[in-house]
Amino acid sequence: MDSLRSKENLNRFESLFGKTKELPRLFQAPARINIIGEHVDYLGGIVLPAAIDFFVEVYLRPNNTASYNLHSVTYNETVELKKPLQPNSKSPWTDYISGVISEIEKKGHIVPGFDLLVDGNIPQGSGLSSSAAFEVVTGYAIQETFGLVISREEIALIGQRAENNFVGTKCGIMDQFIIAVGKKDDCISLNTSTLKYSYHHFELGNNEFYLINSKVKHSLKDSAYNKRREECESALVKIKAKYPKFTHLYEVELSDKELDECHLTNEELKRTKHVTSERERTKIVIDGLETGDFKTVGTSLFQTHWSLSKDFEVSCPEIDFIVDSLQSLGVTGARMIGGGFGGCVLVLDMKDHFSKIDAVLKKSYQQKFNVEIDFYKFQISDGVKEISI
């Protein structure tokens, strides 16, 4: 925890909202990576995410009024909201808070007025889930402050509903879930159809995961994310008409001929191909991590990338360039992570290989796209929590 930052934010909070005997409480939620299982969490698939040590933090204090007074350090903006809460196109960052309050109240709780300051260091639009972290930290801070009894899993679902219903992205549950339940040094395997999950610790030995930020900013809301989800849903409707036993696209196991007879469009067929092949790769990756077979894990990560790029069509030229270059440079594995259309690449490689990669890739990317990429080393960290100030 950066104590200077927290002191500055506390001063800022008190100068905006007044100094009282009661200090605000500070809550922090991490970013996330996902090792395997991409674009399957709204289709009943298995995902393998972990929380990492970037964060969104909120300072929150009840104000005994009917107003929510909100300040964003990133946007240097203060907004007062009152019920009924509506989407706010002038300050869209407040929608995450309004969405969470609305979803908590739909469950029969009452959320009294509060003052809140938000800050963080998760690069926005980088595929590391700054929005989900904001939703989860807001939900957690509200339930802790007002003594509501809401489990971590339920806070994740509230965050997802806020994003689906208020913000407008029809995201799955992976991001909010791992941010709510993450544990230092562990990833989880989450079955998104049952929400059953377990913690896993993998010994990486001489290997490491790290991230490369392409600096291409995605906007899931304005992007084709919702369209991909619709294509998957319409593919399932057609498949079910012939094979009613399948309840999720992720489960579909059919030969090419059988799929042909479902009369999918070319897009629906390609999306189905990604989703069902991701199921097979996920098994291979979990086995490989358990047995220390990093070569096989890496090969599957590359395969996932090209499946996301060619069949699911959620990559972009910059990200493809990074993965292609890494493959030529001989790294163990790499792929885009998150919703896509920009953001970060997750790399798996031997630790001592890093110094040979970063300078070469930085230079070639700069030459081709005139942008400087960032490399992030990270620690697997805890999920949302309170920090004492």
Binding site for ligand GLA (CB under 6 A): 38-39, 41-42, 129, 171-172, 174-175, 338-339
Which of 132/252 has CB closer to ligand GLA? 132
Residues with catalytic function: 175
Alpha-carbon separation of residue 133 from 32, 56, 123, 136, 213 (angstroms): 9, 6, 12, 5, 18
Which of 38/95 has CB closer to ligand GLA? 38
Which of 38/119 has CB closer to ligand GLA? 38
What's the min distance (Å) between Cβ of 133 and ligand GLA? 11
- Asked if residues 208 and 351 have their Cβ atoms less than 8 Å apart, the reply is yes
Which of 42/302 has CB closer to ligand GLA? 42
What's the min distance (Å) between Cβ of 96 and ligand GLA? 13
Which of 93/369 has CB closer to ligand GLA? 93
What's the min distance (Å) between Cβ of 168 and ligand GLA? 12
Which of 284/329 has CB closer to ligand GLA? 284
- Asked if residues 250 and 276 have their Cβ atoms less than 8 Å apart, the reply is yes
Alpha-carbon separation of residue 347 from 23, 299, 358, 378 (angstroms): 42, 11, 12, 12
As a whole number of angstroms, the distance between CA 175 and CA 186 comes to 15
Q: What is the DSSP string of 85-152?
A: P---SSSTTHHHHHHHHHHHHHTT-----EEEEEEE-SPTTSSS-HHHHHHHHHHHHHHHHTT----H
Instruction: Identify which of 83, 119, 122, 88 has the alpha carbon closest to the alpha carbon of residue 101.
Output: 83
Instruction: Identify which of 144, 169, 139, 168 has the alpha carbon closest to the alpha carbon of residue 154.
Output: 139
> Other C-beta atoms within 10 Å of 177: how many?
29
The amino acid sitting at 9 is: N
- Asked if residues 275 and 40 have their Cβ atoms less than 8 Å apart, the reply is yes
3-class state of residue 42 by DSSP: coil
| Pairing outcome for strands 207-213 and 344-350 | antiparallel
- Asked if residues 350 and 207 have their Cβ atoms less than 8 Å apart, the reply is yes
**CA end-to-end span of the chain, whole Å?**
10
- Asked if residues 10 and 389 have their Cβ atoms less than 8 Å apart, the reply is yes
What's the min distance (Å) between Cβ of 377 and ligand GLA? 21
Which of 24/339 has CB closer to ligand GLA? 339
What's the min distance (Å) between Cβ of 175 and ligand GLA? 5
